[in-house]
Amino acid sequence: MIKIYHSPIARSLRVVWLCEEMGVPYETVAVKFSEPSAEFLALNPLRTLPLMQDGPVVMIESIAMMLYIMGKYGPTDLAVDITDPAYAKYMQFLMFGEAGLAMYGNPLVATKFLAPEGMKANWTVDYIKEAFKKRFAYVDGALGDHDYIIANRFTAADISVGYAIGMAGFVDADEGLTERLKAYHQRLTERPAFKRAQGVK
């Protein structure tokens, strides 16, 4: 069975959410960033989440895990086939949710929780928040009047982007969210699979 080392606010939420959407059995191991277990550190000395085990397979990148799970435990409608005209857009936003959005949140998380009080407001924080605004505008344009990134079909790209939007709120970088993106995120978080995933501790 898939084992997911997990914290509710971490990128492991993407992987738990995907498993819930697909109905793939999994188990979770709660991880405290301040007190990582020896078992966790032996598997991932970088001390980052997510961490996933599937038999001998060990992975630490959330989007790679999603692709792996869909490939191994599919087929699933959450993936878009390479023959589909929407495949390129799907792959673009599956990756963009991390490389173009959530990745920018890492310095904000570190600043919010680790920086001395006098260093929490700085040029880099302002720059990153502006970067989020620009990227939200890009996602808004791609979404258009559709319910999901790939028109009216929910896919793994929405899990990727949806997590990043939630992360932006967590680090106070959601000022650039349009009403359309707020409605989109609400649509995602109202899905039964997301609610189940959100309840996993």
pLDDT tens digits, 30-48: 998 778 899 999 999 999 9
Classify residue 199: in a domain, yes or no.
Answer: no
CA dist., res. 180 & res. 167, Å (int) = 17
* Bridge partners for 52 per DSSP: 4, 59
CA dist., res. 200 & res. 17, Å (int) = 10
Same domain, 96 and 169: yes
Same domain, 98 and 173: yes
Q: Which pLDDT score, from 0 to 100, does residue 27 have?
A: 97
Separation in Å, CA 102 to CA 16, 132, 167: 17, 9, 7
Q: Which pLDDT score, from 0 to 100, does residue 115 have?
A: 87
Residue 56: phi and psi, rounded to 5, are -80, -10
Classify residue 69: in a domain, yes or no.
Answer: yes
Same domain, 119 and 148: yes
Classify residue 161: in a domain, yes or no.
Answer: yes
Classify residue 121: in a domain, yes or no.
Answer: yes
Where among 38, 54, 77 does a domain terminate?
77
Domain total of the chain? 2
Which residue range is the domain that position 49 belongs to?
Answer: 2-77
Token pair belonging to 61: 């990148």
Q: Which pLDDT score, from 0 to 100, does residue 119 have?
A: 87
Same domain, 148 and 175: yes
Residue ranges, the chain, pLDDT below 50: none
Q: Do 82 and 67 meet the contact criterion of CB atoms below 8 Å apart?
A: no
Same domain, 187 and 147: yes
Q: For strands 57-59 and 51-54, give the pairing.
A: antiparallel
User: pLDDT, tens digit, for every residue of 74-101?
Assistant: 999 999 999 999 999 999 999 999 999 9
Same domain, 108 and 28: no
Token pair belonging to 114: 């680790």
Classify residue 197: in a domain, yes or no.
Answer: no
Same domain, 28 and 97: no
Same domain, 138 and 119: yes
Classify residue 122: in a domain, yes or no.
Answer: yes
Residue 59: phi and psi, rounded to 5, are -135, 150
Same domain, 100 and 40: no
Q: Which pLDDT score, from 0 to 100, does residue 201 have?
A: 83
Same domain, 66 and 154: no
Find the CATH number of the domain harbouring 95.
Answer: 1.20.1050.10
Where among 21, 43, 77 does a domain terminate?
77
Three-class SS of residue 28? strand
Contact partners, residue 170, CB within 8 Å, separation at least 6? 9, 105, 109
Same domain, 92 and 185: yes
Q: Cis (ω within 30 of 0) for the bond into 75?
A: yes
